[in-house]
Amino acid sequence: MTQRRFIDQMGREVHIPNTPVKIVSLVPSITELLHFLGFDKEVVGITKFCIHPKKWQETKQRIGGTKNLNIQNIIALEPDIVIGNKEENTREDISALEKKVPIWMSEINSFNDALGFINCMGLVLKKEDNCRDLIQSLKHGYKELIHLGKGREVLYFIWNDPPYIAGKGTFISAMLEQIGFVNACKEERYPSIDNLSEYSPALVFLSSEPFPFGNKHLSEYQKRFPNADVILVDGEMFSWYGSRMLDAIPYFNNKFKDS
């Protein structure tokens, strides 16, 4: 079978069949993008966290969680390509898999990284036109949102006890900045906050994932940040790259345009 050579977003060389017919996704947002691109038959394996599209939960083989993959099940599927992510999958799992199957790894910490990933998927999966159209729609849509946040500082919570926030160098932080907010956290990645009083943000966002913040947490965080507006937000809109970024445009506009 004819193969093509690619360099993934982690700088790894990957050899992929000319036309992949069996695809395994290791990340929910990647699974959703594959559905958006029309790979209903080609995708043969997804994680237990791949909840979109719902019908794939019932028809595709589960291959474990993003951080505890069932290596043998993936190998048994004999995929032409496995698509993963540096942050969401473990180095140990990827090292074990790459000895047996072709793995294309994404590394997405910025808005441009996400666009680059979509462009690469167009080339790797021979969906150049579809991905080019998606990229243009994203560039146009987010250009309209650049002043939505009005430069206000935000603390974005991803976990409750202990409290963890999204810091610099994360895709969440990049999305906040893309729509006009300023991340109040100056630390890198996902620090735990020991002293909440050192922050005085204008806004506090409580994400729906990975910790499921709900209405019961609003008053608790309002007491912690009496001078901030505390808001529940859909975590998928801030942290899922790929086609979900298109859905996020009207969500952000409706959520923040009058705030």
pLDDT digits (tens, 9 = 90+) for 79-94: 999 999 999 999 999 9
Buried b (16+ CB within 10 A) or exposed e, 117-143: bbebbbebbebeebbeebbeebeebbe
Looking at the fold, whether 109 and 18 belong to one and the same domain comes out as yes
Q: 221 with 230: CB under 8 angstroms?
A: yes
- Please state the length of the chain: 259
Q: Which of 116, 141, 166 is the last residue of a domain?
A: 141
Q: 75 with 55: CB under 8 angstroms?
A: no
CA dist 14 and 3 (Å) reads 10
Looking at the fold, whether 7 and 106 belong to one and the same domain comes out as yes
Looking at the fold, whether 7 and 133 belong to one and the same domain comes out as yes
Q: What is the largest CA-CA distance in the chain?
A: 63
Q: CATH number of the domain at 171, please.
A: 3.40.50.1980
Asked, for residue 64, whether it belongs to a domain, the answer is yes
Q: Which of 141, 174, 196 is the last residue of a domain?
A: 141
Looking at the fold, whether 28 and 104 belong to one and the same domain comes out as yes
CA dist 166 and 157 (Å) reads 6
CB count, 10 Å around CB of 176? 24
CA dist 204 and 113 (Å) reads 26
Q: 163 with 224: CB under 8 angstroms?
A: no
Asked, for residue 148, whether it belongs to a domain, the answer is no
Looking at the fold, whether 179 and 117 belong to one and the same domain comes out as no
Asked, for residue 220, whether it belongs to a domain, the answer is yes
Rounded to 5 degrees, φ, ψ at 107 are -140, 105
Q: Which domain does 27 fall in, by range?
A: 3-141
Asked, for residue 40, whether it belongs to a domain, the answer is yes
The whole-number pLDDT of residue 58 equals 87
Q: Which of 98, 117, 141 is the last residue of a domain?
A: 141
Looking at the fold, whether 133 and 33 belong to one and the same domain comes out as yes
Looking at the fold, whether 19 and 69 belong to one and the same domain comes out as yes
Cis bond upstream, residue 53 (ω within 30): yes
Number of domains in the chain: 2
Asked, for residue 171, whether it belongs to a domain, the answer is yes
Looking at the fold, whether 114 and 167 belong to one and the same domain comes out as no
Looking at the fold, whether 203 and 122 belong to one and the same domain comes out as no
Strand residue runs (E) in the chain: 3-7, 13-17, 23-25, 43-46, 61-62, 64-65, 68-69, 81-85, 103-106, 153-159, 164-165, 182-183, 203-207, 229-233
Asked, for residue 8, whether it belongs to a domain, the answer is yes
Tokens of 113: 């990284």
The structure's pTM equals 0.94
pLDDT per residue of the chain (259 residues) written in tens, 0 to 9? 688 999 999 999 999 998 899 999 999 999 999 999 999 999 999 999 999 999 998 899 999 999 999 999 999 999 999 999 999 999 999 999 999 999 999 999 999 999 999 999 999 999 999 999 999 999 999 999 999 999 999 999 999 989 999 999 999 999 999 999 999 998 999 999 887 778 899 999 999 999 999 999 999 999 999 999 999 999 999 999 999 999 999 999 999 987 7
Asked, for residue 147, whether it belongs to a domain, the answer is no
Running DSSP on this structure, what letter comes out for residue 168? Answer: B
Looking at the fold, whether 109 and 223 belong to one and the same domain comes out as no
CA dist 259 and 256 (Å) reads 5
Asked, for residue 136, whether it belongs to a domain, the answer is yes
The whole-number pLDDT of residue 1 equals 62
Looking at the fold, whether 35 and 135 belong to one and the same domain comes out as yes
Looking at the fold, whether 126 and 157 belong to one and the same domain comes out as no
The whole-number pLDDT of residue 168 equals 96
Half-sphere exposure (CA, 13 Å, Cβ side) for 25?
A: 27
